């Protein structure tokens, strides 16, 4: 008999209803392509499943990926809705906030992207800038869609802090990123540290130190992995962490 092939790490991804007519569960294919390229098996589950089912399936997963999408219900972090806050999905908020809390408590690897960093921050007691242009300022354009930017186009730079997990991927200093968001972290959630910012001060990545892998970014690395070895290496760092300690 040959040596058994090691099982690919299973990455759980919540899939919400988010097409214009609210008829389809959707997810950008770049998330899937990036995970597969790093040796992972994506497991897609609809957010409409109840918590008991999610908890059972979560227990079998090796890691969790939280993806981009619409805005979080502001009442969750104690604020009224800003006029620009849009595409709220309470069902999605509910399960993704739970996943952000479960993974931290259980020390299960978790990687969060764009909306995901905002979910993580809110799940840990933080709050959000609901609209960067009107509530923070617009020295840098963070809304790539507003200027017709391609999904893999560098829109601005972020400055990576030394000594963080993400520094092991990019090194310290400036990294060019894409950008497709109008909200961002305001008050930082409990247990998180800021590991990079844009030149205007907007938080671009956070981590929970002392955990196996609990990392979030505000940009969309999945849209850049096809042409950027550093963005693919970021996914690989998550998949590698999810491989450690699995059955």
Q: Which of 204, 207, 220, 223 is catalytic?
A: 220
Of 114, 156, 181, 204, the catalytic one is 114
Question: What is the CA angle 37-40-43, rounded to 5?
Answer: 120
Backbone angles phi, psi at 100, to 5 degrees: -60, -35
Which residue, 149, 74, 115, is CA-closest to 219? 115
Determine which one of 96, 204, 207, 222 is catalytic: 222
| CA 28 – CA 205 distance, rounded (Å) | 21
| Active-site annotation holds for 156 | no
- The string of DSSP codes covering 133-170 is HHHT--SS--BGGGGT--TT---EEEEEPTTSTTHHHH
For residues 152 and 96, the answer to whether their CB atoms sit within 8 Å is no
Q: Tell me the two tokens of residue 175.
A: 């990294």
Task: Verify whether residue 222 is a known catalytic residue.
Answer: yes
Q: Is 204 a catalytic residue?
A: no
Where does the chain show beta strands of DSSP type E?
10-15, 41-46, 63-66, 110-113, 128-129, 156-160, 173-177, 184-185, 193-198, 203-207, 214-217
Residues known to be catalytic: 114, 220, 222
């Amino acid at each position: 008999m040959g040596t058994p092939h090691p099982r690919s790490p299973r990455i759980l991804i919540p899939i919400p209803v988010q097409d214009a007519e609210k008829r389809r569960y959707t997810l950008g294919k770049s998330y899937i392509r990036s995970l597969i390229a790093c040796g992972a098996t994506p497991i897609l589950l609809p957010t409409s499943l109840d918590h008991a089912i999610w908890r059972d399936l979560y227990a079998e997963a090796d890691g969790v990926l939280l993806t981009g999408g619409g805005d979080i219900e502001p009442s969750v972090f104690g604020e009224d809705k800003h006029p620009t806050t849009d595409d709220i999905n309470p069902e999605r908020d509910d399960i993704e906030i739970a996943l952000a809390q479960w993974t931290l408590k259980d020390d299960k690897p978790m990687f969060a992207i764009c909306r995901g960093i905002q979910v993580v921050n809110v799940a840990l007691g933080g709050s959000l800038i609901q609209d960067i242009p009107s509530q923070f300022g617009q020295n840098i354009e963070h809304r790539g869609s507003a200027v017709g930017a391609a999904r893999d186009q560098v829109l601005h730079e972020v400055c990576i802090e030394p000594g963080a997990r993400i520094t092991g991927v990019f090194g310290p200093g400036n990294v060019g990123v894409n950008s497709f968001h109008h909200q961002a972290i305001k008050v930082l959630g409990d247990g998180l540290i800021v590991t990079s910012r844009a030149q205007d001060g907007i938080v671009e990545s956070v981590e929970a130190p002392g955990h196996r892998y609990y990392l979030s970014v505000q940009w969309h690395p999945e849209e850049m992995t096809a042409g950027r070895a550093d963005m693919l290496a970021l996914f690989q760092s998550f998949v590698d962490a999810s491989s450690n300690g699995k059955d």
